[in-house]
């Protein structure tokens, strides 16, 4: 496609992975030379001369980049969390509902979802839409990401041994920046409690949400919830709902199973005797949780042929 794509922040974790995913020559990719990569004047020119700018920047830098764009024809994909709940920005999760891919395709401003919210929203939004999960349910969400989720500096520190850990739980101030995004796009009326962690592996996320059947509508069994998710994602190219065989229930999840891809698996575990349900999602935090999602949105915005989401 003869589109000029400028990546601002090309040396960060997401920016580097994005370039790897776009090596096939599908688009004309522009980055700035090292000596002017952070030069405001050079960035301003690049931002205003491209067709689509992809921002792989910290939040404040992303806001500054958007403010530099004076050319009304320039479209933006922001991979930071700066604009995820901002008016005028389209949420870049094509699987959010039946119309979201169309909204992304025509949007001038698209905000890439966060890695954790991608998993949480994919699990929760179909259930709130169907009335199977009350909007005010007291949700507790737990997730473990590979250490690359800390960003390039954090990943290098871990690999050098200076920041190594087997498991690091964080966000215990309960102010994680992804929570507002989850609340907004999952259709919730109450702020969920979110407890994230970093594991000692490089990339991949496993996210789980526990539910008690006694606190759900009477028809919200594990089977019914599984049917709801299966129906919602039946035509989605990158989201798969795992089978729920009663004879061989899911007992474990590998967070690295989708590494290097833009895919995500969803699962439902259901113990009828205890009345407990566990929703889970597995994805690559650098794939469907970051660069892979940006490429998916870029192709939609560029009008690429996509028979499925």
- Residue among 90, 79, 294, 81 nearest 176 (CA): 81
Strand (E) positions, the chain?
4-8, 28-30, 52-55, 75-78, 90-91, 109-111, 140-145, 167-169, 193-199, 205-212, 239-241, 264-271, 276-283
Classified as helix, coil or strand, 294 is: helix
Residues in contact with 148: Cβ distance below 8 Å, sequence separation at least 6, in sequence order: 13, 154, 155, 202, 203, 285, 286
Determine phi and psi for 189, rounding to 5 degrees. -105, -10
What count of other Cβ atoms lies within 10 Å of the Cβ of residue 136?
9
Classified as helix, coil or strand, 208 is: strand
What count of other Cβ atoms lies within 10 Å of the Cβ of residue 54?
29
- Of 50, 56, 115, 228, which is the active-site residue? 115
Active site annotation includes 115: yes
By annotation, the residues acting in catalysis are 115
């Amino acid at each position: 496609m003869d589109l000029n794509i400028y990546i601002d922040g090309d040396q960060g974790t997401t920016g580097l992975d994005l370039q790897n995913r776009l090596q096939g020559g599908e688009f004309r990719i522009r980055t700035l030379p090292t000596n002017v990569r952070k030069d405001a004047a050079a960035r301003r020119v690049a931002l205003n001369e491209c067709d689509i700018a992809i921002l792989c920047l910290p939040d404040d830098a992303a806001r500054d980049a958007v403010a530099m764009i004076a050319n009304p024809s320039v479209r933006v994909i922001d991979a930071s969390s700066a604009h995820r709940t901002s008016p005028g920005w389209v949420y870049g999760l094509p699987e959010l509902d039946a119309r979201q891919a169309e909204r992304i395709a025509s949007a001038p401003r698209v905000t890439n979802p966060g890695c954790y919210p991608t998993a949480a929203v994919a699990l929760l939004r179909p259930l709130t839409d169907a009335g199977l999960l009350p909007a005010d349910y007291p949700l507790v969400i737990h997730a473990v990401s590979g250490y690359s989720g800390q960003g390039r500096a954090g990943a290098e520190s871990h690999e050098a041994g200076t920041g190594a850990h087997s498991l690091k739980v964080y966000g215990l101030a309960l102010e994680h920046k992804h929570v507002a995004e989850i609340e907004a796009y999952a259709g919730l009326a109450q702020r969920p409690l979110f407890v994230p962690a970093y594991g000692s592996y490089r990339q991949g996320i496993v996210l789980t949400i526990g539910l008690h059947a006694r606190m759900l509508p009477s028809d919200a069994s594990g089977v019914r919830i599984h049917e709801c998710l299966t129906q919602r994602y039946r035509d989605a190219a990158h989201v798969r709902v795992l089978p729920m065989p009663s004879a061989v229930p899911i007992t474990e999840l590998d967070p690295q199973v989708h590494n290097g891809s833009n895919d995500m698996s969803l699962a439902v575990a259901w113990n009828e005797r205890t009345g407990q349900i566990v929703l889970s999602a597995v994805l690559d935090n650098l794939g469907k949780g970051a660069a892979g999602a940006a490429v998916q949105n870029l192709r939609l915005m560029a009008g690429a042929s996509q028979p499925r989401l």
